[in-house]
Amino acid sequence: MGNGSRRIVITGLGVISPLGCSADAVRNRLEQGLSGIGPMEMLPARHLPTKVAAEARDFRGEIADFGPLEKTLSRNIKKNLKVMCREIEMGVAAAQLALTDGGFVPEGHDPDRFGVVFGCDYLLTQPEEFLEGIRRCQDEAGKFDFGRWADQGLPKVEPLWLLKYLPNMPASHVAIFNDLRGPNNSLTLREAGSNMAIGEAVTTLQRGWADRMLAGATGTRLHLLRTLHVLLQEQVAPGDPDDPAASCRPFDRDRSGSVVGEGAGVLMLETEATALARGARIRGEIVGHASSTVVDRRGAADYRAAFRNVMRMALQSAGLGPNDIGHVNAHGLGTTRCDRDEAAAIRDVFGDRPIPVVAPKSYHGNLGAGSGIVEAIGSLLALEQGRLFRTLNYRTPDPECPIAVVSTDGVDPGDSFISLNVTPQGQAAAIIVRRYA
């Protein structure tokens, strides 16, 4: 039997990001105003129009990056690394870190009442996966002969190749490794994936289908083919290798585009009753969520309407009004159009109230599906500390973005925040998180 009045609380978090791979690392970087954007190293920047990136440099994909693990679990994860691409590795690592942070004990839960829902980008293979097979299919002139592929090319492709790139694998791996047999789902909704995953986890818990859920997302814009797609389709900041931290300038008049990045995050969510029964530390409460897609008759995204819809619907679902929100954690992409439309939507909802607005992408760029949850973790940590981090590189206000962008330290975060994200296709999602009391 469902129960929409169930309170859903956050009891654990895990993060893999350009700001570090622990809550403490992320908190420290945000408090000190230290950017995770640097010279591009993962890709051949000399051939690209952008020279900077937000790389998760502390994550090497080694078993030590997955946190403290029991011996059998460590062995199982290590054995399966060969069937994980980097995005999947980051997602699984963030989940294991969230379980550790939440005090998860395998013997202390009902596996049928613990589920997983994960947002993920569509995953692209690395070109070198097919290199040897393609070579086997070249004729004397070097031309690819498709007729040879079945017999000579395909056998040179790793038999388990496909498992490395299925977007349902983060949720599958996490569930199998930890024997979590409850509801399990995977969402491929790009930047909206994080908040959508959290929203689905919340409704699953409120309906009584589970007592605990891991809600997470993993993504990247750092991949040879994906980065090319982004550069061809979106406004990307060229960046200055001598001053990479200044590259992403959300809501600033002189913004020049987004920065490509990578990262993952996971929240451990529980019903309040379950968390209290086991004496868990409660870090916050999810009180509202919403999603909306708005496009015009030509299929172009209407960011302003989509943002406005999700803010109003999330407030309605939480039973709150605009004055009850302490700050806005904005999508803040750093592009000319999206920032302008997001700022307009914030004014539509909050009116002339100068509600504090922060844009974490100024620190870590666009992490794809992983962005929203890493950003929400930043605001959750700010609620705990009682101090809001500033938005980097906000120097010249833009008359077309008339909002109160936080550009100094020590601003009060309030007792709650609303976190926003949107895809280039106009799919927006929002969550509202409140300090637990």
Q: Which CATH number goes with the domain that contains 92?
A: 3.40.47.10
Last residue of a domain, one of 102, 137, 162: 162
Asked whether residue 4 carries a pLDDT value surpassing 80, the answer given is: no
Are residue 75 and residue 141 in the same domain, yes or no?
no
d(CA 278, CA 105): 11
- What's the average model confidence in pLDDT over 196-205? 98
In tens, the pLDDT along 128-180 reads: 899 999 999 999 899 999 999 999 999 999 888 999 999 999 999 999 999 99
**AA letter at 264:** A
Q: Is residue 321 part of a domain?
A: yes
In tens, the pLDDT along 249-303 reads: 999 999 999 999 999 999 999 999 999 999 999 999 999 999 999 999 999 999 9
- What's the average model confidence in pLDDT over 314-337? 98
Are residue 202 and residue 323 in the same domain, yes or no?
yes
**AA letter at 12:** G
Question: Residues with Cβ < 8 Å from 22, sequence gap 6 or more?
Answer: 15, 97
Are residue 145 and residue 247 in the same domain, yes or no?
no
Cβ–Cβ under 8 Å, residues 361 and 329 = no
- The region of weakest confidence among 23-27, 105-109, 170-174, 321-325 is 105-109
Q: Is residue 270 part of a domain?
A: yes
Closest CA to 312 of 332, 287, 338, 291: 291
Are residue 223 and residue 117 in the same domain, yes or no?
yes
Q: Is residue 69 part of a domain?
A: yes
Are residue 193 and residue 313 in the same domain, yes or no?
yes
Q: Is residue 199 part of a domain?
A: yes
Are residue 244 and residue 363 in the same domain, yes or no?
yes
Q: Is residue 1 part of a domain?
A: no
Are residue 141 and residue 45 in the same domain, yes or no?
no
pLDDT for 437 equals 87
- What's the average model confidence in pLDDT over 2-25? 90
Count: domains in the chain: 2
Size (the chain), residues: 437
Are residue 145 and residue 205 in the same domain, yes or no?
no
pLDDT for 407 equals 96
Are residue 363 and residue 325 in the same domain, yes or no?
yes
- What's the average model confidence in pLDDT over 117-130? 92
- What's the average model confidence in pLDDT over 188-204? 97
Cβ–Cβ under 8 Å, residues 251 and 199 = no
- What's the average model confidence in pLDDT over 76-100? 97
Q: Is residue 3 part of a domain?
A: no
**What percent of the chain shows pLDDT beyond 90?**
92
User: If pLDDT is split at 50, 70 and 90, which confidence band does 240 have?
Assistant: confident
d(CA 196, CA 423): 12
Report residue 84 as tokens. 């994980």
Q: What are residue 344's phi and psi, to 5 degrees?
A: -65, -40
Are residue 217 and residue 157 in the same domain, yes or no?
no
pLDDT for 87 equals 97
In tens, the pLDDT along 36-63 reads: 999 999 999 888 999 999 999 999 999 9
- What's the average model confidence in pLDDT over 240-247? 92
pLDDT for 295 equals 94
Asked whether residue 2 carries a pLDDT value surpassing 80, the answer given is: no
Are residue 323 and residue 337 in the same domain, yes or no?
yes
Q: Is residue 24 part of a domain?
A: yes
Average pLDDT, rounded, for the chain: 95
Asked whether residue 411 carries a pLDDT value surpassing 90, the answer given is: yes
Reported pTM: 0.95
Are residue 368 and residue 380 in the same domain, yes or no?
yes
User: If pLDDT is split at 50, 70 and 90, which confidence band does 1 have?
Assistant: very low
Q: Is residue 424 part of a domain?
A: yes
d(CA 70, CA 67): 10
Give the domain extent around 402. Answer: 8-123+166-434
